[in-house]
Amino acid sequence: MTQQRGTQVDQVVTAVLPPRAASAAQARELVTTQCTAWGMASLCDDAALVVTELVANAVRHAGTDIQVSCAHLAHGVRLEVRDGSTRPLRPRPALSSDEGGRGLLLVDALSNRYGVLGDPTGKLVWAELFAA
């Protein structure tokens, strides 16, 4: 896992998931289990929703294997989702009648910060959530 912006990581749990809808549930379970194990139960719901959105985006738009990481920070967690697509993330406005299109808005609203790193083999989308 890459540490950006000086983030100090204590422990990391990683899983590689296939590009199918059920992978979002697996990622959610991984994050919920780790948040609880690390004594950060207050972050479980928000972190689970963030990772669900990031994995769903990777399934929908990349169609490649997805690497999901959950890292323990001093005061929170860092979630990372890596896929094999080099297409950039593009948040887009969603109409009230749209069934989707709000994933990155949710990620932005629930995370303390998030970002994306691209390279020739794909991209890594990360989000950090801090305990109050």
Q: How far apart are CA 31 and CA 128, in angstroms?
A: 12
Find the mean pLDDT for residues 7-31. 91
Question: Considering the domain boundaries, does residue 2 fall inside one?
Answer: no
94 within a domain of the structure (yes/no)? yes
Q: Is residue 87 in a domain?
A: yes
Q: What is the pLDDT at residue 14? A: 96
pLDDT, average across residues 49-75: 95
pLDDT at site 20 = 96
Q: How many structural domains compose the chain?
A: 1
Range of the domain at 87: 9-130
Q: Is residue 53 part of a domain?
A: yes
pLDDT level of residue 88 (50, 70, 90 thresholds): confident
From 95, 87, 96, 94, select the one nearest 125 (Cα to Cα). 87
Enter the pTM of the model. 0.86
**Cβ-proximal residues to 109 (8 Å cutoff; 6+ apart), any chain:** none
Mean pLDDT of 10-17: 92
**Mean pLDDT, to the nearest integer, of 30-58?**
96
Q: Above pLDDT 90, what percent of the chain?
A: 72
What pLDDT score does 102 carry?
Answer: 65
Query: What is the C-alpha to C-alpha distance for residues 81 and 57, in angstroms, rounded to an integer?
Result: 10
Residues 6+ apart with CB under 8 A from 7: 71, 73, 78, 128
The answer as to whether 3 is a domain residue is no
113-119 sheet: strands from edge to edge:
9-17, 66-73, 76-83, 122-130, 113-119
Angstrom distances, CA of residue 78 to CA of 20, 44, 62, 98, 120? 23, 12, 21, 29, 23
The domain spanning residue 107 has which CATH number? Answer: 3.30.565.10
Residue 4 lies in a domain: no
